[in-house]
């Protein structure tokens, strides 16, 4: 049984940039590509760890002609992925090398 968030779904306009970042830069596995549930013609991308572990999954609906989002109630503005503490330096260097501006947030188990 999953406790907490199973996955987050977001929208993307550009499939290749999406795959390049989530599979290429972050190293997530593109677990599945399928049609959307409401619209079978809409591409739905699923990423996760190698096991598809609940909590590691993020999905994207491709909406190439979609309007830009508006700041407001209910809007997700950031998502974060956990990494082993010993790998933080490697991830920071990887981000800097790729031209990504990282922000380090440290959480505890409590």
pLDDT score recorded for residue 82 = 79
Interval 46-94: pLDDT, tens: 999 888 777 778 999 998 887 777 888 877 778 888 788 899 899 999 9
Query: Beta-carbon neighbour count of residue 45 at 10 Å?
Result: 22
Provide, rounded to the nearest whole percent, the portion of the chain with pLDDT above 70.
Answer: 95
Cα–Cα distances (Å) from 29 to 25, 37, 46, 57, 59, in that order, read: 11, 21, 8, 9, 11
Mean pLDDT of the chain: 84
List of long-range contacts for 14-19, beta carbons under 8 Å, 24+ apart: 14/64, 15/43, 15/45, 15/62, 18/45, 18/60, 18/62, 19/45
Domains of the chain (ranges; CATH) run 7-65+79-98 (3.10.180.10)
Q: What is the pLDDT of residue 110?
A: 60
Q: For residue 14, what are its two tokens?
A: 């550009």
> What pLDDT does 4 receive?
72
Is pLDDT of 32 > 90? no
Percentage of the chain exceeding pLDDT 90? 35
């Amino acid at each position: 049984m999953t406790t907490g968030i199973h996955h987050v779904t977001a929208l993307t306009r550009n499939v290749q940039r999406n795959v390049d970042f989530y599979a290429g830069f972050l190293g997530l596995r593109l677990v599945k590509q399928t049609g959307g549930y409401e619209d079978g013609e809409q591409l739905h991308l699923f990423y996760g760890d190698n096991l598809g572990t609940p909590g590691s999954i993020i999905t994207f609906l491709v909406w190439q002609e979609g309007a830009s989002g508006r700041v407001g109630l209910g809007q997700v503005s950031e998502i974060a992925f956990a990494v082993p503490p010993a790998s933080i330096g490697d991830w920071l260097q990887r981000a800097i090398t790729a031209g990504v501006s990282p922000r380090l947030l440290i959480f505890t188990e409590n």
